[in-house]
Amino acid sequence: MDKLPFLKTAESEKTTHLEFFNIALSVDCVIFGYEEKQLKVLLIKSDLEEYEGLWSLIGDLVKPTENLEDAPYRVLQSRAGLQHVFLEQVHTFGTVNRHPSGRVITTAYYSLVDINHYKLQKTENELHWHSTSSIKKLAFDHTLILNTCINRLRLQIMEQPLVYNLLPQKFSLRQLQDLYEAILGVELDRRNFRKRMMLKDWLVDLNEMEEDVPHRPGKLYRFRTGLKTVETTVSRKSHEPVNV
Amino acid sequence: MDKLPFLKTAESEKTTHLEFFNIALSVDCVIFGYEEKQLKVLLIKSDLEEYEGLWSLIGDLVKPTENLEDAPYRVLQSRAGLQHVFLEQVHTFGTVNRHPSGRVITTAYYSLVDINHYKLQKTENELHWHSTSSIKKLAFDHTLILNTCINRLRLQIMEQPLVYNLLPQKFSLRQLQDLYEAILGVELDRRNFRKRMMLKDWLVDLNEMEEDVPHRPGKLYRFRTGLKTVETTVSRKSHEPVNV
DNA sequence: TAAAATTGTGTACTTATTACACATTAAGGA
DNA sequence: TCCTTAATGTGTAATAAGTACACAATTTTA
Please provide the DSSP assignment of A50-91 as one string: GGTT-EE-EEEEPPTTS-GGGHHHHHHHHHH---S-EEEEEE
Separation between Cα atoms, residue A79 and residue B242, nearest integer Å: 32
pLDDT of residue B41: 98
- Using a CB-CB distance cutoff of 8 angstroms, which residues of chain A are in contact with residue B19? 64
B1, B159, B236: best to mutate for the A interface, most A CBs within 10 A = B1
Most confident of A17-31, A74-88, A146-160, A207-221: A146-160
Contact in structure between B101 and A204 (CB atoms under 8 Å): no
| pLDDT level of residue A119 (50, 70, 90 thresholds) | confident
Strand D bases contacted by the protein (CB, 7 Å)? 5-12, 17-22, 25-29
Alpha-carbon A169 to chain mean position: 20
Rounded CA–C1' distance between B210 and D27, in angstroms: 11
| pLDDT level of residue B12 (50, 70, 90 thresholds) | very low
Cβ-Cβ pairs closer than 8 A, A with B, add up to: 223
Separation between Cα atoms, residue A223 and residue A229, nearest integer Å: 13
Count CB-CB contacts under 10 A for residue A150.
26
Which runs of consecutive H residues, i.e. helices, occur in chain A?
13-21, 71-80, 142-159, 173-184, 190-200
Rounded CA–C1' distance between A194 and D12, in angstroms: 16
Q: Which of B174-188, B206-220, B222-236 comes out lowest in average pLDDT? A: B222-236
Alpha-carbon B95 to chain mean position: 21
> Which residues are CB-neighbours of A15 under 8 A, at least 6 positions away?
none
Separation between Cα atoms, residue B174 and residue B191, nearest integer Å: 11
Express each pLDDT in A228-239 by its tens digit. 777 788 775 545
pLDDT of residue B117: 83
Which of A2, A7, A238 is facing B44, going by the closest CB pair? A2
Rounded CA–C1' distance between B217 and D28, in angstroms: 10
Express each pLDDT in B34-64 by its tens digit. 999 999 999 999 989 999 999 999 999 999 9
pLDDT of residue B237: 54
Interchain pair B147, A107: CB under 8 A: no
Give the gap in angstroms from C-alpha B43 to the nearest C-alpha of chain A.
11
Q: Is the pLDDT of residue B241 over 90?
A: no
Instruction: Identify the bridge partners of residue B205 per DSSP, sorted by sequence position.
Output: B221
Rounded CA–C1' distance between A160 and C17, in angstroms: 18
Residues above pLDDT 70, as percent of chain B: 85
- Our CA angle for B154, B242, A30, nearest 5°, is 80
Strand C bases contacted by the protein (CB, 7 Å)? 4-11, 16-21, 24-28
Phi then psi dihedrals of residue B102, to 5 deg: 160, -175
B2-A97-B18-A108 Cα dihedral, nearest 10 degrees: 50
Which H or E element spans position B43?
Answer: strand B38-45
Give the gap in angstroms from C-alpha B227 to the nearest C-alpha of chain A.
21
Separation between Cα atoms, residue A211 and residue A214, nearest integer Å: 9
- Convert A91-128 to b/e letters by CB count within 10 Å (16 or more is b): bbbbeeebbebebbbbbbbbbbbbbeebeeeeeeeebe
Nearest residue of B to residue A189 by CA position? B244
| pLDDT level of residue A198 (50, 70, 90 thresholds) | very high
Phi then psi dihedrals of residue B155, to 5 deg: -70, -40
Give chain B's end-to-end CA distance (angstroms, integer). Answer: 32
Rounded CA–C1' distance between A213 and D6, in angstroms: 10
Q: What is the pTM of this model?
A: 0.91
Q: Is the pLDDT of residue B141 over 90?
A: yes
Chain length of chain A: 244
Interchain pair B28, A1: CB under 8 A: yes
Interchain pair A94, B22: CB under 8 A: no
Q: Is the pLDDT of residue B133 over 50?
A: yes
Which of A133, A154, A233 is facing B242, going by the closest CB pair? A154
Q: Is the pLDDT of residue B7 over 60?
A: no
Give the gap in angstroms from C-alpha A7 to the nearest C-alpha of chain B.
7
Q: Is the pLDDT of residue A112 over 80?
A: yes
B194 CB less than 7 Å from any atom of strand C: yes
Separation between Cα atoms, residue B237 and residue B241, nearest integer Å: 9
Count CB-CB contacts under 10 A for residue B206.
13
Residues above pLDDT 90, as percent of chain B: 73
Greater confidence (A1 vs A131) lies with: A131
pLDDT of residue B11: 41
Residues above pLDDT 70, as percent of chain A: 85
pLDDT of residue B243: 45
Count CB-CB contacts under 10 A for residue A7.
16
Any idea which nucleotide's C1' is nearest the CA of A213?
A: C27
Separation between Cα atoms, residue A28 and residue A37, nearest integer Å: 25
Express each pLDDT in B85-110 by its tens digit. 999 999 999 999 999 989 999 999 99
